[in-house]
Structure 1
């Protein structure tokens, strides 16, 4: 039987300029995420939609969550398989589309990790781990778009 997990966060709009949403250009698209016991994260809308380009937007957060979940499962599975990973960084790409109505969605994501291996002869074994991760990664199993992996292996 599956275990239930609850996740909580508080989202608070911080973009009121004192007169609310009296007009489309009369308020900022900024907001704050807080979760118990963790530092707050200030966010905004996508810059093309009037957001602050210096702050994370929902699309950034979704792509980051997808990449981080994959990384954590990959490290776990590598450890179980006796594959020593000494470094991991990703430059994921989210591909989206916007309709004339303004509605948008992700159509795909590409995770592009650069993974440092202690033993370069284990690259093929390490690469084989990626496909199985999508069967267990909480975020990858929750999104409605394809996620592909383009891993690259380096040695220290």
Structure 2
């Protein structure tokens, strides 16, 4: 079975003269998906982008983390692991080559997961190992995705 995802990217960086010169335009755009909030974006701040806007690297890392979280919650519910809180502070590890082109070389997801008292923490941790087999985003990237979960047990 196949299915499609759509998006609309609208460049917003024309200062009036378009791309007449390399420094004459902004690297900004909006992500406009019908029925969803507009997302204002810019390129990486290392390349002169706006720190206050999402960049492609932010979006990829966030998508990877969110996909992992959703599968984790699914597997936790199936396994009887009661999750009461989940937050992640993932880190994308990148490199820039000699010609200036960059890429992700790895990502580390660092979820902090709150679980109910009495939770089997070994089982809760083991659920993470199943996710790379099914996470749409993780299966689509060409770099390793590591995870370093921490658990907090409700008292």
Comparing 35-44 and 107-116, the one that deviates more? 35-44
- Gap change, CA 1:84 and 1:16, over 3 Å in 2: same
* Distance (Å, rounded) in 2 between the aligned partners of 1:34 and 1:119: 42
* Distance (Å, rounded) in 2 between the aligned partners of 1:29 and 1:146: 29
Answer yes or no: is the 8 Å Cα contact 1:120–1:154 preserved in 2. no
Comparing 23-32 and 84-93, the one that deviates more? 23-32
Answer yes or no: is the 8 Å Cα contact 1:119–1:155 preserved in 2. yes
Name the structure 1 match of 2:67.
Answer: 69
> TM-score under structure 2 normalisation?
0.97
Comparing 17-26 and 104-113, the one that deviates more? 17-26
Name the structure 2 match of 1:133.
Answer: 131
- The correspondence of residues 25-104 of structure 1 with structure 2, limited to 5 A, is 25-104=23-102
* Distance (Å, rounded) in 2 between the aligned partners of 1:22 and 1:52: 21
Name the structure 2 match of 1:145.
Answer: 143
Which 5+ residue runs of structure 2 have no aligned equivalent?
A: none
**Residue 116 of structure 1: CA displacement?**
0.2
Cα RMSD for the two superposed structures: 0.8
**Residue 119 of structure 1: CA displacement?**
2.5
Answer yes or no: is the 8 Å Cα contact 1:11–1:32 preserved in 2. yes
Comparing 33-42 and 118-127, the one that deviates more? 118-127
Q: Number of aligned residue pairs: give it.
A: 154
Residue deviations 1:78-109, cap 9 Å, x none? 00001100000000000000112111100000
**Residue 50 of structure 1: CA displacement?**
1.5
- Gap change, CA 1:31 and 1:130, over 3 Å in 2: same
After the TM superposition, list the runs of 4 or more consecutive aligned residues in structure 1 that deviate by more than 3 angstroms. Answer: none
**Residue 120 of structure 1: CA displacement?**
4.7
Give the secondary structure class of the aligned counterpart of 1:18: coil
> TM-score under structure 1 normalisation?
0.96
